Amino acid sequence: MISSVRGEVLSIGLDHAVVEVGGVGLAVHATPTTLAGLRRGERHRLATALVVREDSLTLFGFADDEERELFGLLQTVSGIGPRIALATLAVLSPDVLRKALADGDITTITRVPGIGRKGAERLVLELRDKVVAPAVPATLPTAGNGTNPRRDEVVEALVGLGFTAKPAEQAVDQVLAADAAADAATLLRAALRRLGRAR
C-alpha cells in the first residue's frame, strides 16, 4: 500500500492533483479542500490510499492521516465505495462527520450525494462506536474568495461525484449569482453545500 506521497505538485485539477515522485507523475484524487491547500510548483506531502480494481489502480490523497483513516472506515460499510467515501469527505469535514456519526445525525449525513436516509442510518449503526466525537463544536467548511469562475468544469466535477446534471447546473449558477468572482475550487465547495441542503 502507498501510505503517503511527497513531491512537487505539477498540476491541480478540480478533483485531482499530479505529484511528481521519483520522476513519476502520480495522479492523486482528492477533495476540493485538500486540493485548495496545494500550490503548483511547491513540494507537498499527502497521506494516500491506493484502491485496486481489476481494471484500475486509483490513488486517493488526503491532507492528513485522520482523513485517510475515515476514508477507509467509511468503505467498511456495505454500499460505500471510494467515490462515495471521497464525496463524504468533500461535503463534511472530519470533525463534522465524526460528530454526525456519534450523534446519529442522519440529516447531516444525507447531505452527501449518493447517501440516502437508509444509507445514513447504516453508517451510523455500523460506525457510531468506531469514531470519537470532536471535543469542540464542528462547523462546515466555509468557501474562500477567488477569481475566474469555471462553470462547465465544476458542473462536470459535480456529475462525477454522483449528482445529476440539472441540479448541479442550478447549484453552480446560484453560487455564481451570489459570487461571480468565485474560482473553480471555491465554486465547487459552495455548490456541494447547496446541493447537500437541497437533499
Q: Across residues 1-29, what is the average pLDDT?
A: 92
Quick one: what percent of the chain has pLDDT higher than 90? 47
Cβ–Cβ under 8 Å, residues 153 and 186: no
Banded model confidence at residue 197, pLDDT cuts 50, 70, 90: low
Q: Judging by beta carbons within 10 Å of its beta carbon (0-12, 13-18, 19+), is residue 6 exposed, middle or buried? A: exposed
What is the third-level CATH fold of 151-198?
Answer: Helicase, Ruva Protein; domain 3 (1.10.8)
For residue 71, the model assigns a pLDDT of: 95
**pLDDT tens-digit readout, 135-145:** 544 444 443 33
Asked whether residue 149 carries a pLDDT value surpassing 90, the answer given is no
Banded model confidence at residue 164, pLDDT cuts 50, 70, 90: confident
CATH class name, domain 4-62: mainly beta
The domain at 65-130 falls in which architecture? Answer: Orthogonal Bundle (1.10)
Quick one: what percent of the chain has pLDDT higher than 70? 89
Banded model confidence at residue 61, pLDDT cuts 50, 70, 90: very high
Which of 88, 93, 86, 184 lies closest to 144, judged by CA?
Answer: 184
Q: Across residues 156-184, what is the average pLDDT?
A: 80
**pLDDT tens-digit readout, 30-53:** 998 898 889 999 999 999 999 998
For residue 144, the model assigns a pLDDT of: 38
Which of 144, 168, 143 lies closest to 154, judged by CA?
Answer: 168
**pLDDT tens-digit readout, 70-98:** 999 999 999 999 999 999 998 888 888 99
d(CA 166, CA 159): 9
d(CA 171, CA 187): 9
Which of 43, 3, 4, 37 lies closest to 20, judged by CA?
Answer: 43
For residue 55, the model assigns a pLDDT of: 87
Mean pLDDT score of the chain: 84
Residue ranges per structural domain of the chain:
4-62, 65-130, 151-198
Banded model confidence at residue 198, pLDDT cuts 50, 70, 90: low
For residue 195, the model assigns a pLDDT of: 79
